[in-house]
């Protein structure tokens, strides 16, 4: 007779469907760039057992009129579009890896539109 403490536990497997993975990637991308997850497109691929992600998404930006009035608004909004996209790549890779356990080889961020938003002022 074996006790619960000595009973070997059979190793199992967890499987994440591509649909679930798509939704996780879309949500992480949306959060990183300040857009709605429903507007984020995701393509998944495999590269030697590693996950390759391509996300197509709008990016939230402040209006050019507002930038012309006050250049510091770009930094308050998170920096230039290029630097925000580069940071989003890292964020997406790290968070998808942490949330799903999938090893991510590469993330490509394709910006499809600029969502112009008014900067909210603090009162």
- Selected from 1.20.120, 3.40.50, 3.30.70, 1.10.4160, the CATH number assigned to the domain covering 18-114 reads 3.30.70
- How far is it, in rounded angstroms, from Cα 8 to Cα 30? 42
Residue 63's nearest CA partner among 113, 111, 119 is 119
- pLDDT of residue 79 exceeding 80, the answer is yes
pLDDT, the chain, mean: 86
What is the model's pLDDT at position 95?
A: 97
pLDDT in tens, 50-72: 999 999 999 888 877 787 788 78
Instruction: Characterise 78 by phi-psi region: left (phi > 0), alpha (psi -120 to 50), beta (else).
Output: left
What is the model's pLDDT at position 45?
A: 95
């Amino acid at each position: 007779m074996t006790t619960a403490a000595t009973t070997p536990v059979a190793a199992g497997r967890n499987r994440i469907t591509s649909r679930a993975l798509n939704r996780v990637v879309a949500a992480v991308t949306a959060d990183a760039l300040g857009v709605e997850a429903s507007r984020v497109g995701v393509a998944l691929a495999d590269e030697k057992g590693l996950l390759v992600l391509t996300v197509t998404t709008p990016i939230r930006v402040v209006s050019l009129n507002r930038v012309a009035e006050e250049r510091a608004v770009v930094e308050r909004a998170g920096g230039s579009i290029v630097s925000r996209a580069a940071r989003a790549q890292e964020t997406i890779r790290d968070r998808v890896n942490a949330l799903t356990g999938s090893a991510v080889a590469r993330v490509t961020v394709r910006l499809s539109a600029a969502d112009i938003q008014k900067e909210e002022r603090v009162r």
